[in-house]
A and B are shown apart, each in its own frame.
Chain A
Amino acid sequence: RKEVEQDPGPFNVPEGATVAFNCTYSNSASQSFFWYRQDCRKEPKLLMSVYSSGNEDGRFTAQLNRASQYISLLIRDSKLSDSATYLCVVILPAGGTSYGKLTFGQGTILTVHP
């Protein structure tokens, strides 16, 4: 089983649509969770952290279900500028055997069209 698994897509949606991405992770000891965004041939950029209580940042909402080892990202009112690859990322606790190693999913490609 892959450490972090995402539906690669691609997702093609019109402007204004709502789109949801899912991600599962295999290591139940994972403590921190993130969504990164990566534009073509660019570096990953932190979009938002994901907390157990769920969190929202403008049009973006992230959810975490520890029991199911499942993370989601919801984008409302999609914009053309949201077109990118969305990366699900988990991290094991610092200390012990990990000092912040980010484990990435393969990414989900989103294209928002006019």
Chain B
Amino acid sequence: EPEVTQTPSHQVTQMGQEVILRCVPISNHLYFYWYRQILGQKVEFLVSFYNNEISEKSEIFDDQFSVERPDGSNFTLKIRSTKLEDSAMYFCARGRLVETQYFGPGTRLLVL
């Protein structure tokens, strides 16, 4: 499968700061997702994005989170005011089909 790029690979931020995580998926993929994994815990769904709109979001995805595909290529996850508990690995996933999701290498976010 073609590679999905995520940037940055690591980010350290202070509590209350805004962070933007980026994913560069393959252009012909229709479905985009963000998941997160807190250290030692299971992978959790955050949000799905289809046809340039949010199609589903979890309870975790509150008003502090937003997603965009600003230039038709990059797919971003923004956390407006980070909390300590936002520290996690954030994975972007994409697919041409709903059932075939391939994950990027992740961004490790540490909130101090």
Contacts and interface: CB of A to CB of B under 8 A. Distances in A.
B13 to A, nearest CB: 19
Given A45-B103, A99-B55, A104-B44, A94 B91 contact: no
A105 B42 contact: yes
Contact of A91 (B99, B105, B106): B99
Contacts, number: 59
A81 interface: no
Interface in B67-111: 89, 91, 93, 95, 98-106, 108
Given A42-B105, A99-B98, A104 B56 contact: no
Contacts of B41: 106
Interface residues of B, number: 27
A100 B103 contact: no
A46 interface: yes
A53 interface: no
Given A44-B43, A105-B42, A100 B104 contact: no
Interface residues of A, number: 23
Contacts of B101: 46, 100, 102
B99 to A, nearest CB: 5
A46 B102 contact: yes
B35 interface: yes
Contacts of B91: 43-44
A12 B76 CA distance: 39
A43 B101 CA distance: 12
A43 B106 contact: yes
A38 B98 CA distance: 20
